[in-house]
Structure 1
Amino acid sequence: MKITFLGTGTSQGIPVIGSTHPVCLSKNSKDKRLRSSILIEKDKKNFLIDCSPDFRYQMLINNYRKLDAIFMTHEHQDHIGGLDDIRPVSFIMNKPIPIYGLRRVIENIKKRFFYIFSKNQKLNVSRISVHELDDYKKFFSVENYKIFPLSIWHGYLPILGFRMENFAYITDASNIPIQTVQKLKGINTLVLNILRKVVKNPFSFMLSETLNIIQKIKPKKTYLTHINHTFGFHEEIEKQLPKNVHIAYDGLIIYE
């Protein structure tokens, strides 16, 4: 299994428009972050988790041209804003691209991208099929692979993470229920969000909370994503983390 980090930033990305923060002015490519998303490759199948507003650019610079499914964590703009740009992908594949998410998320997508769901087949729009995950208590199957939806909280909002085999992806979490922690025991690789070091945010983990969750799950390796510019410089923070915890960066490729 090959995992490519298409983006590792928060909703504003890094650099933030107009910001003079030192991280936003950094010349290090690892300090420049598009909005968070990953692409999983398995047996020539491509699975995307979240479709950020930077999706078009992410697909171009990583030379991807097909998608076999999209898994949505939640409906915030930095996670679904690129859906209109799947149009050329659906044309290349000549079939609808399945999207999986909570019923609330699917309904939100239908409202915000209403034209995609038009019955007028002459419209030049993306072709997608939607699949609600509210009734999946254990797993759902895509291309003969088992995908396990993970219940987590983003502030007051229930959202999803996803586990595939011994890899799991969680972003924008502020709380992970004990039942979900139990479902993650024994995994090899965890991707987990970290917003900033110490300033508490009701919608996302700060560093101590992230490290505490990692201690409970005990994956072999963890990669941090959904990173705010105030978290610090990539190279400096990387040196301060436990040896099995790393900061992800745009374009990073790992294998599971």
Structure 2
Amino acid sequence: MTVTFLGTGTSQGVPVIACGCEVCTSADHRDKRLRSSILVQADDKTVVIDSGPDFRYQMLRANVQHLDGVVYTHEHKDHIAGMDDIRAFNFKQQEAMNIYADTRVQAALMREFPYVFAEFKYPGIPQVTIHPIGLEPFDIGSIHFVPIEVMHYKLPVLGFRINDFTYITDAKTVSESEKEKIKGSKILVINALQKQSHISHFTLDEAIAFANDMGAETTYFTHISHRLGKHADVAAELPPGIELAYDGLTLTI
């Protein structure tokens, strides 16, 4: 299985519109961050986790020719806004796209894309098949997902463990029972928004402490804001076994 980081930025992406900070004006390609999403490719299935506003470009940039499903972490716009662009896969594959979402995300999709779920369906709109998910494990072909509930301030968000790989965005707190699902992962991906305190995201120090607590062989930070600093500078400060993810990074699991 391979995992490709389609985007590693926070809700505004990096660079931020109209920002002239050293991160947003950096020439380092690792400081160009689309909204957070990953591509998971197994022998029999290809899925993405989240389809944010950059979904179309992410699919083009990664040259994704076939997609079996979209799995959602939560309903915020930077994680669902690109869902309409599954239409291209509907046309090429001649089938509805499988959408895996909890009840809150389903409600948000229906609210944001009402034409997809209307009784009268206009020609050419996205075709979807909804698969409800919660905290019970589920499979997409050979890919086994174990949902992990984390708290994004007061909003529950789903992370996912796939074999020895765990992916979590938008976390601020994680219960002890959910931490048990993470422990033993060889690769952990978690959010590290910025160095300053934040109400709903891990800071850099909090993310490092969480990584040390979980004890994965390698931890990658994602969902990064321009406030964190330049990739090269922050990477040089990180402890062994902890790295910054960047757009286009591919892991073999």
Amino acid at match of 1:114: P
Structure 1 residue aligned with 2:163, among 150, 162, 165?
A: 165
Q: Which residue of 2 aligns with 1:127?
A: 127
Q: Which residue of 2 aligns with 1:7?
A: 7
Q: Distance in 2 between matches of 1:239 and 1:44?
A: 38
Structure 2 residue aligned with 1:241, among 235, 238, 241?
A: 238
Q: Distance in 1 between matches of 2:65 and 2:179?
A: 34
Q: Which residue of 1 aligns with 2:50?
A: 50
Q: Distance in 1 between matches of 2:69 and 2:246?
A: 23
Amino acid at match of 2:37: S
Q: TM-score if structure 2 supplies the norm length?
A: 0.97
Structure 1 residue 118, shift from structure 2 partner: 2.6
Q: Which residue of 2 aligns with 1:148?
A: 146
Question: Given the alignment of the two structures, is residue 193 of structure 1 paired with residue 191 of structure 2, yes or no?
Answer: yes
CA contact (8 A) 2:51 2:82 kept: yes
**1:193-242 deviation digits (Å, cap 9, x = unpaired):** 00001x11111000111111111211111110000101011011111111
Q: TM-score if structure 1 supplies the norm length?
A: 0.96
Q: Distance in 1 between matches of 2:121 and 2:170?
A: 36
CA contact (8 A) 2:188 2:219 kept: yes
Q: Secondary structure at the match of 2:124?
A: coil
Deviating above 4 A after TM superposition, structure 1's stretches of 4 or more consecutive aligned residues are none
Question: Given the alignment of the two structures, is residue 250 of structure 1 paired with residue 247 of structure 2, yes or no?
Answer: yes
Q: Distance in 1 between matches of 2:110 and 2:122?
A: 19
Q: Distance in 1 between matches of 2:68 and 2:93?
A: 9
- 1:61-100 to structure 2, matched below 5 A, reads 61-100=61-100
Question: Given the alignment of the two structures, is residue 107 of structure 1 paired with residue 107 of structure 2, yes or no?
Answer: yes
CA contact (8 A) 1:181 1:216 kept: no
Query: Between Structure 1 and Structure 2, how many residues are aligned?
Result: 253
CA contact (8 A) 1:8 1:227 kept: yes
Q: Distance in 1 between matches of 2:143 and 2:23?
A: 40
Amino acid at match of 1:243: P
Q: Distance in 2 between matches of 1:112 and 1:121?
A: 15
CA pair 145-28 structure 1, distance change in 2 beyond 3 A: closer
CA contact (8 A) 2:115 2:122 kept: no
- Consecutive unaligned residues of structure 1, counting only runs of 5 or more, are none
- The alignment-based identity, stated in percent, is 41
Q: Which residue of 2 aligns with 1:23?
A: 23
What value does the CA root-mean-square deviation take over the aligned residues? 1.1
Q: Distance in 2 between matches of 1:159 and 1:178?
A: 15
